[in-house]
Every structure is written in structure tokens, then in C-alpha cells.
Amino acid sequence: MKTFRIAIAGFGGVGRATASLLLSRRARYCEIYDADVRLVAVCGSRSGVKSAYGLEKEQLSTLEDGLSGPAFIEESGADILIEAGPSDFRTGGPGLAYLRSSLSAGHDTIVISKGALVHRGRELRALAKGSGAILKLSGAAAAALPTIDLVEHNLKGCEVLEVEGILNATTNYLLEAMTTRGIGFEHALREAQLGGFAEADPRNDTEGWDTACKLLILANFGLGADLTMNDLTVEGIQSVSAERIEAWRGQGLVPKLVGRISRGNGAIRAEVGIRTYPLADPFANVRGRDKAIRIVTEAMGKTLAIGSGMEPLATAAAALKDLEHILAARMA
């Protein structure tokens, strides 16, 4: 049996859910992959805990001050990193230093935050290639909704001609509330914030940046593009008026905030904006906080997936799906 030592950097809602799901699946890893998977370190911004023998559930509530940072993770002896810190696509966020350290050392790496992948994707790909580390990022590319995996596994070998995705749950929820109940953007947003479905500062979602990050990650890591945020046209939903919604309703159209990737003249283009769909289109029926993706390939035609996992468990499960791909590859 081979031992795999896992560290988690970023120990908020998603990091904790990932740790707890990983511990509950240890017997599965043993049985299916003949792998002894140990969680050897976790850390937040200022504190952490490690054990070479593997942390148990009770130890995850006793983080010690001062144990954090890429050096702490390296010292833990981890050979796989799961990075779940805050996302900042303008700077790469704290995740960038962890990812550089892990990939340079040749450690397989699972990324959940989007910031570093958007800001320094090319560099991180090169680091992984240079060191032979496997870099997986389902959690950063719409998590419970399969996106990269659809392209890499289910549509393997096909040429992707077009991708359309409803990739942000908050904007889908808001647009649906505006469309079905005739309320304005501000009203829908206040309700969503009170219900915990929208952030206190919702601009990352409502202005389309979260969708743009996921789209850019899919384009660059899934389709081999080399786009930066400056290459994308990004429109949000913040200026959609009740009058516009009413006009669409009158025409039997449902608005969605959609990220779209297309190929033309050998180049890949990506844009985020409102698109409208007739009621018979499956995209018109993606409800509430669900997400969806439609991929058109030259050989397999249209493939559609709709995801509706509960967060943060679904994101943790997406990261651990990546872990199983790594276990399978390393045990082959």
C-alpha cells in the first residue's frame, strides 16, 4: 500500500468540508486504490496543525498560532496540496505562493481558489510541466458542475467548437427572481443577501467577474487557450432593468448570465454577458442556484450538464474527485 500525505491550505468553509469528507473516505481510498491517504496538515491565514501520522477529526479544531504559509506546508511532508484560500484574480491572492511552492517541488496540486489560476495560469502550468506535478482544478472551474472533466474525459479527442455556461449561482438566482416575480435588481439582491445567497459585496458575482474567472480557467486549462482577463468582454447583471426583463418576458425569452467560448479563424474568444433563451431551451429551465454548461464538439454534437450540489460539500467533493484522479494516475 502506498501512502499519500495531503495538506490543505485555506481552512474556511470549503477547506473544512474537504478535510472532513477526506477523512470519511479513507477506507474507500484504501479499498479502491490501495492507498493510505493521510491528512498531514491544515492551515488558515495565521494558524494550523500538522501530524506526520495523519490528523484525526478532533485535531482539526485545535489549530496553533504561527503555523501557516508555504514553508509550514512543505515542512509537514505533504506530497499533495489542496489549496482552498481566498480568491483574488487581480493579484493571485495568498494561494499563489502555496501553488508556486507545491508545483515547483513536484507535488501534485488541487486548486479550489480561482485567483492564482486566472492571474498566473501560464506560469503555474509551466511549473507543473517542469516538475511533473499533476495540477487539477475542478473546484475552481464551477466545482459541482463538471466543466474541465467533461472536456478532458468525456469529450476526449473531440474538437470543442463552442461552450456556453451558466456558471454563477448567485446571478442565476437573482435573474430568476427578477423574471418570475417582476422585482427589480436591488430588491432581488437585498432578498438574496438576507437569505445568505449573495455576498455583502456582491460585485464579483453581479458584475460577471466570477463567471469570467471560471470561463477563463476553462478556456486556458481545458481548451489550451492563453487568455488574460483583458481579452474578455465582461458584462454583468447589475444594470438589467425591470422594463428589459418585462420586454423579454413578453417575447417568451428568459435571460441568463452566460460565459461563452467560441473558436473562429484559429483563435479562441471568450465573453460574459446576458443571453436570452426561449422557454423550450434547457438553459431557460436552469433554476435557482443551479449551474449549467453546454459544449458543442465537431464529433459528439451537443453535450449538456446541469449541476445543483449544495455548497460547500459539493465543492469539497469536486476537489476530492480530483484527488481520486491523482490516486488512480499515481497507482497506475
73 counts as binding ligand NAP under rule CB under 6 A: no
Say if residue 258 carries a ligand binding annotation.
Answer: no
Q: What is the dihedral of CA 45, 49, 54, 55, to 10 degrees?
A: -100
Binding to ligand NAP (CB under 6 A) within 5-44 occurs at: 9-15, 43-44
Cα dihedral sign, 285-291-296-302? negative
68 counts as binding ligand NAP under rule CB under 6 A: yes
How far apart are the two ends of the chain, measured CA to CA in Å?
A: 13
H helix intervals, the chain: 13-24, 26-33, 70-75, 95-104, 115-119, 121-131, 148-149, 169-181, 185-194, 203-206, 209-217, 242-250, 313-331
* Dist. CA 40–CA 253, nearest whole Å: 52
Catalytic residue (one of 50, 136, 214, 256): 214
* Dist. CA 276–CA 33, nearest whole Å: 45
CB of 274 to ligand NAP, least distance (A): 23
Say if residue 114 carries a ligand binding annotation.
Answer: yes
What residue type is assigned to position 22 of the chain?
L
102 counts as binding ligand NAP under rule CB under 6 A: no
- Listed ranges 54-62, 107-115, 234-242, 295-303: which one lies at the site for ligand NAP (CB under 6 A): 107-115
Neighbours of 199 (CB within 10 A): 14
What residue type is assigned to position 42 of the chain?
V
Site mask, ligand NAP, residues 262-301, x = CB under 6 A? Answer: ----------------------------------------
The answer to whether 214 is a known catalytic residue is yes
85 counts as binding ligand NAP under rule CB under 6 A: yes
Q: Given the complex with ligand NAP, which of 307 and 312 has the nearer CB atom? A: 312
CB of 15 to ligand NAP, least distance (A): 6
- Active site amino acids: 214
Residue set of the binding site for NADPH = 114
Which residues contact ligand NAP (rule: CB under 6 A)?
Answer: 9-15, 43-46, 68, 84-87, 94, 112-114, 139, 143, 311-312, 315
